[in-house]
Amino acid sequence: MYLEISNPMDYHAALYIRLSKEDESEGPSESVNNQQSLLNEFVQQHRLSVYDTYIDDGWSGTNFDRPNFQRMITDIEARKVNMVITKDLSRLGRDYILTGHYMERYFPEHRVRYISLLDGIDTGVDSTANDITPFRAIMNDMYAKDISKKISSVKHDKQRKGLFIGGKPVYGYKMHPTEKNKIVIDEDVAPIVQRIFGMALDGMSCRQIAVQLNNEGIPTPATYAGLTVSAPGPYTGLWSSERVSDMLQNETYIGSMVQGRTRKINYKSKKCIKQDRRDWVVVEGTHEPLIDRETFEKVRVLINSRRRTRSRTYDFLLKGLIFCHECGYPLAVINRKMASGEDRLIFVCRTYQRFTKAGVCTSHTIKVESVTQAVMEKVREVCGAYLQADRLLPQAQREVARALAEADNEKEINSLKARIDSLTAHLDKVYMDKLSGVLEEADFQRIYGKVKADRSALEQRLSQLDRPDFSPAEQLDLTKKLTERFLETASANRELLVSLIERIELTADKQIIIKFRFKQLENA
């Protein structure tokens, strides 16, 4: 509080206030009102002009993606703010790496003066208080780490005691109306769970059970819980074999509390990773069972037996190359016996195969042989046209000229990849914020949808640019050699087909779309 500012008219101050749950334990002195009163007293005493007050209430100091902190950063970027004032350094943040980044690099580079009142830190003057700032930041970080350990210890202790500490109980149960950390049977959907186990015990596969539930219009666990999906896919709102399989193997239904399936990487990250089954915390007899143990074990044996008798797969020339044009999923292949008694391989849309009654896609049913023949004829036609003597030289000249004009493609590709990685990380973070309750559902849907659309646009642009890493002359030479070899051994050379074709799509009306790996062939 002994700081002096000789030229107050030169500054537009931002008053930054932060309070988290762990800070509340330190007493009322950390409250938002107390911090605001202290900062206002300072700016009045020094006749400073306040541009705005930024308050992040309920945000951890290890997280620098706080909404009002980011709003303050935006105002700094717009040169509306050139001074930041906090009660103490821990209000700015408790991650010593990022706190040091803002104090030692970001604020100086943007000509922002930072003042921490109780620590006596003022980057506008040379003082010993500034010299020990890194040590203060480390101590604040250690405090956050210690709090995280204590919270984790309490959670693990509750898990070992069989107390429920999750957000929503498993489908078939609900929170106890009066007792905390207890679950009870949800009578509204418990019969559905019992029926699913009964169908499995009768020999129905997980897929058959899912189809039956979808046919009857029974809401999925996510739908019943009221969970919304920001980017709905073809399977959204439908039962799947995976969902049914997870339920049939969940020991919660026999009265055991199963927790600890995932864990956070560390106290600075919200990302969770899956745990090995041996690391789960399982406590028996914590609540009323929905399924008796004998039924549960019989169903488990049935599921495990099917894993060892998976249906056979088929080898065919277009394997891994052909996709449904409408839903984007790989086409499945089934063996169908014809009227003549002959076996024929048939392409069918995997989405349609799994959710036939839902109408999320169409069958795309067509003989593998017919599609393969059509693809081979098209590729022969393209390769033949490309290798015509009277077209090859002009084509090469055009490609070389085009390559010279696109000399900076590599830089754009690298930039696009970096931006896509950044947006992917942002999507992960937004989703975790939503799960942790930090982000409201409406905001989550708006942000998630926009970021995903931006990423899709970048990926589409990248797919147009990201070709094999050869020089223009090398690409021309390689394309010519591959097309010549393909025409010589077109009937069964899968290696060459994969070298030439990036993706084949089959539309609902049986049209075939071929996407080549080389621009030269696409333009042939």
At residue 468, the pLDDT reads: 47
In angstroms, what is the C-alpha Rg of the chain? 31
Q: How many domains in the chain?
A: 3
> Poorest-confidence range of 171-180, 204-213, 413-422?
413-422
pTM: 0.43
The structure tokens 């169903």 sit at 299
Confidence of residue 436 (pLDDT cuts 50, 70, 90): low
Question: Does residue 491 sit in the same domain as residue 458?
Answer: yes
* CATH code of the domain containing 124: 3.40.50.1390
Question: Does residue 403 sit in the same domain as residue 485?
Answer: yes
At residue 141, the pLDDT reads: 63
The helices-and-strands tally (H runs, E runs) of the chain is: 21, 17
276: containing domain: 173-307
Average pLDDT, the chain: 76
Whether pLDDT at 1 is above 50: no
Would 159 be classed as within a structural domain? no
Would 158 be classed as within a structural domain? no
Whether pLDDT at 340 is above 50: yes
Question: Which residues, in sequence order, are CB contacts of 128 under 8 Å at separation 6+?
Answer: none
The DSSP 8-state label assigned to residue 230 in this structure reads S
For residue 190, the tally of other CB atoms under 10 A from its CB is 18
Residue 367 identity (one-letter amino acid) = K
Question: Does residue 302 sit in the same domain as residue 232?
Answer: yes
Question: Does residue 500 sit in the same domain as residue 374?
Answer: yes
Whether pLDDT at 405 is above 50: no
Confidence of residue 434 (pLDDT cuts 50, 70, 90): low
Using CA atoms, how far residue 161 sits from 75, 182, 238, 324, in Å, is 49, 11, 35, 49
At residue 264, the pLDDT reads: 65
Average pLDDT of the residues in 425-447 = 72
pLDDT tens digit sequence for 28-63: 556 888 899 999 999 998 899 999 999 998 888 888
Whether pLDDT at 270 is above 80: no
The DSSP 8-state label assigned to residue 170 in this structure reads P
At residue 271, the pLDDT reads: 66
Average pLDDT of the residues in 155-167 = 77
Using CA atoms, how far residue 302 sits from 202, 204, 248, 333, 373, in Å, is 10, 10, 10, 25, 41
Whether pLDDT at 398 is above 70: no
Question: Does residue 131 sit in the same domain as residue 180?
Answer: no
At residue 308, the pLDDT reads: 45
pLDDT tens digit sequence for 95-151: 777 888 888 889 988 999 999 888 888 888 776 555 555 655 566 566 556 666 666
